[in-house]
Every structure is written in C-alpha cells, then in structure tokens.
C-alpha cells in the first residue's frame, strides 16, 4: 500500500480545490489515507477529517468573459465572506458537458452547479434524474427574480425548483451597419440571413440545430415551436448554406468575424453583440418577431450539498452581485426591473425588458425540441456538411 503522509494529503486537497482532481478521486484518496493511517470508520482522524470537512463547491460555466465575471464579482467575494471555495470549471457545449456528468461516479457526483442555457436543458437534466429540490426559504433573494423566468422551470418540476434563473438572452441577428442599413434589416427580418446580396458574407452557429431550424422556420413563415413543413425547413437551410461565409463555433469566433468584417450578418448571442457595440464596432442588432429567447440558470445537480449550494445561489442573487456579473458578461440579470433598480448599462443591453414580464419573448418548448433532438441534429449535420 502506498504511504500517505499529511504533506501528500495537503497536496491532493490543493489539487481538488483547484479543480485538477475530481471529487471521485479525492474521496477515494481519503479512504486510502484513512486506511494508511491505521484508522477505521469515519471520521478518519484530524488530518483527514479537516480535509473532508473543508467546504467547497464546483461551478461549471461557459468560460471566457462569462466565467471571468463570475470569478471577479461572485466567487471570490463569496469565498472571502464565507471561507467556502468555489471550484471553477468550464465546458464548451451542453452535449459534451452532459456526457461528462453521465460518466461521473455516482452520476453527477463530481459536479455541483451548472450554468445551463435554455429551458429544454432543464427538462433534460430533470428527465435523467439529476435534479434536486431547493429549499427556497434558504434563498430569500429569489423574491427579486422575474416570475416570468421562474414559471417555466416550476412547470417542469411540478412546482419545485432545481435551479434559479440568472440572466436573460436572445439569439438574434447581428449586422454590420456599414454594409446593411437599419431600414433594410428591419424590412427583411429573418430573411436577412438569406439575402443574396450578402452571399459570402453571412454566418451562423455551426453547433446548434435549434438555432438554424428556428430561423428557417421564421423565414418560411412557420412557428419554431410547431413546424408543419419540415421539407421547407431543410430546403431553406440548404439554400442558406450556399450563401455562407462561415459557420462559427464559439462566441469568440463570432465576435472576431464581425469585428474584422469577414461577415456582415449572422445569428448572434445578444451579449456578444453588446460587447462589440461597447467596443465601438458598427454592429446593429435585430430581433424580429419570434426571436429565439432563452434564459441561463444555476442548476443544482443531485448529490450536491444543498446547504452550501443555496448559500452560494442566494449570494449570487444579491442585487449588487447580480448587477456586477450582468455588466461583466453583458446579459441582463434575472432581477425584476419593477423590484430592483438596474443600471443604465443594463438597460441598453439587447434582450433587456424594462417591464420584467417578457411579453412577446419566444422560448423553445422543451418537450417539442427534445423529442426530435437526435433526428434533427443528424439532419442538420448532413446539411451543414453539404449533403
């Protein structure tokens, strides 16, 4: 049996705190440490007990400027105030992250809070058995969140919550105002993404079948949540492919393509558009009727220490914290503007609703989109590849 010393245990614990060692391997190491120290049962003794009792929680998000905003305005102040470490992880897309959650042992056990997007992912995680039931009395700042953002989650989990809404976004249409006038953009609406005058200067997000089908539905006069002519959807996406300059893979690539004028129009995340506008780039934002709207929320995974999770969630919903994070990542917070005074910067962000009611915001219906995910993903991948 390998010799376990206090110094080795300290190094292993540091690796766990920094996210370089999984929770599963840390727990296994604690068991080995207890055995090596000649102890039986739990707790193992002062050294192991101190390491095990040390509070920490893992939070996985989108990385980049989004994660930086969390680190600066939420995680570091939370740790300073409570002594609880936040292990900051990142993911590239929802499907790859879900694969990691499924592969963890026990399923979801290495992961605690995920910064998920769109209501259909909330439904996916619930259906897979990864949900929890939050004690809302331990999250008093939830009272400041827009009811219009809470209701879609409650509807899925039959009145309870496994997450708290945190920000609001849209996947609208960005366009270069030097090459596309505001009048033309507003006249064409979704058809701007099929404008033959912009052939070779159009873009779209390669990684999401929903976004592409959503705008094909608007282009062909259909409801994105009830498409009745799929042949027209696929035909429109094949037509669009011939006009494309690039299917972008990340927010950073999206911003680079627009900033460098490699593309003049594309579907775009509202927060990235806000960043480009603040940097002085000539980028307009179009949200035609039926624009793809979504929320991001902090989903608490099964097996998480709820007392710690609820403490962190409540801290992150403190108005001064939520506002600072919102300004850092350029997405309006979930705070109700009728209850909380928001800043002028937030009020100027694309997707901001001064009423807090979100009337006219169209969200994806989870059951509809999740039921066709495999089939439509495969079809989109073939069209994107040129077949």
pLDDT tens per residue, range 148-175: 999 999 999 999 999 999 999 999 999 9
Residue 12, pLDDT > 80, answer: no
pLDDT at 17: 55
Pairing of strands 283-286, 362-363: unpaired
292-331 pLDDT tens trace: 999 999 999 999 999 999 999 999 999 999 999 999 999 9
How far apart, in whole angstroms, are the C-alpha atoms of residue 81 and residue 151?
31
Among candidates 122, 174, 145, 168, which has minimal Cα distance to 326? 168
Mean pLDDT computed over 362-376: 93
First to last CA, the chain: 57
pLDDT at 173: 98
How far apart, in whole angstroms, are the C-alpha atoms of residue 169 and residue 32?
46
68-89 pLDDT tens trace: 999 999 999 999 999 999 999 9
Among candidates 19, 5, 17, 18, which has minimal Cα distance to 48? 5
Query: Contact, 244 vs 257, CB < 8 A?
Result: no
Instruction: Dig out the tokens for 43 from the structure.
Output: 């707790």
pLDDT at 121: 92
Instruction: Dig out the tokens for 345 from the structure.
Output: 């910067």
How far apart, in whole angstroms, are the C-alpha atoms of residue 19 and residue 12?
11
Q: Lowest-pLDDT range, 4-13, 79-88, 355-364?
A: 4-13
Query: Contact, 209 vs 215, CB < 8 A?
Result: no
pLDDT at 41: 42
Neighbouring-strand partners of residue 204: 247
Helix-helix angle 23-36:46-53, to 10 degrees: 170
Place of tokens 């439509």: 376
pLDDT at 46: 46
Q: Which residue has better confidence, 314 or 104?
A: 314
The whole model's pTM is what? Answer: 0.79
Q: Which residues contact 366 (CB under 8 A, 6 or more apart)?
A: 119, 120, 122, 123, 124, 156
Domains of the chain: 6-53 (no CATH), 56-168+296-357 (3.40.190.10), 169-293+367-382 (3.40.190.10)
HSE-up (13 A, CA, CB side) for residue 83: 3
């Amino acid at each position: 049996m390998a010799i376990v010393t206090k110094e080795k245990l300290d190094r292993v614990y540091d690796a766990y705190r920094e996210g370089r060692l999984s929770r599963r391997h840390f727990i296994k190491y604690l068991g080995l440490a207890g055995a090596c120290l000649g102890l039986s049962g739990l707790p193992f003794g002062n050294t192991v007990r101190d390491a095990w009792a040390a509070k920490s929680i893992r939070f996985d998000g989108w990385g980049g400027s989004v994660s930086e905003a969390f680190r600066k305005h939420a995680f570091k102040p939370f740790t300073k105030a409570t002594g609880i470490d936040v292990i900051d992880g990142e993911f590239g897309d929802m499907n790859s992250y879900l694969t990691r959650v499924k592969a963890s042992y026990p399923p979801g056990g290495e992961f605690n809070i995920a910064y998920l997007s769109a209501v259909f992912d909330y439904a996916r995680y619930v259906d897979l058995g990864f949900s929890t039931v939050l004690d809302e009395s331990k999250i008093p700042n939830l009272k400041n969140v827009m009811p219009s953002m809470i209701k879609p989650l409650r509807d899925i989990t039959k009145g309870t919550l496994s997450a708290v809404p945190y920000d609001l976004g849209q996947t609208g249409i960005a366009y270069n105002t030097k090459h596309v006038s505001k009048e033309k953009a507003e006249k064409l609406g979704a058809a701007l993404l099929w404008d033959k005058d912009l052939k070779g200067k159009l873009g779209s997000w390669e990684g999401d079948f929903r976004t592409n089908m959503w705008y094909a539905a608007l282009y062909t006069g259909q409801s994105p949540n009830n498409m009745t002519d799929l042949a027209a959807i696929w035909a429109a996406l094949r037509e669009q492919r011939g006009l494309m300059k690039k299917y972008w893979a990340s927010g950073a690539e999206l911003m680079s393509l627009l900033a460098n004028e490699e593309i003049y129009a594309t579907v775009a995340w509202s927060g990235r558009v806000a960043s480009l506008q603040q940097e002085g780039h000539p980028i307009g934002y179009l949200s035609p009727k039926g624009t793809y709207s979504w929320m991001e929320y902090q989903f608490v995974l099964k097996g998480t220490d709820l007392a710690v999770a609820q403490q962190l969630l409540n801290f992150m919903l403190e108005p001064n914290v939520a506002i600072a994070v919102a300004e850092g990542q350029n997405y309006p917070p979930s705070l109700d503007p009728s209850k909380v005074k928001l800043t002028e910067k937030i009020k100027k962000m694309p997707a901001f609703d001064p009423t807090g009611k979100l009337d006219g915001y169209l969200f994806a219906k989870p059951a509809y989109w999740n039921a066709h995910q495999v089939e439509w993903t495969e079809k989109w991948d073939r069209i994107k590849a040129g077949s």
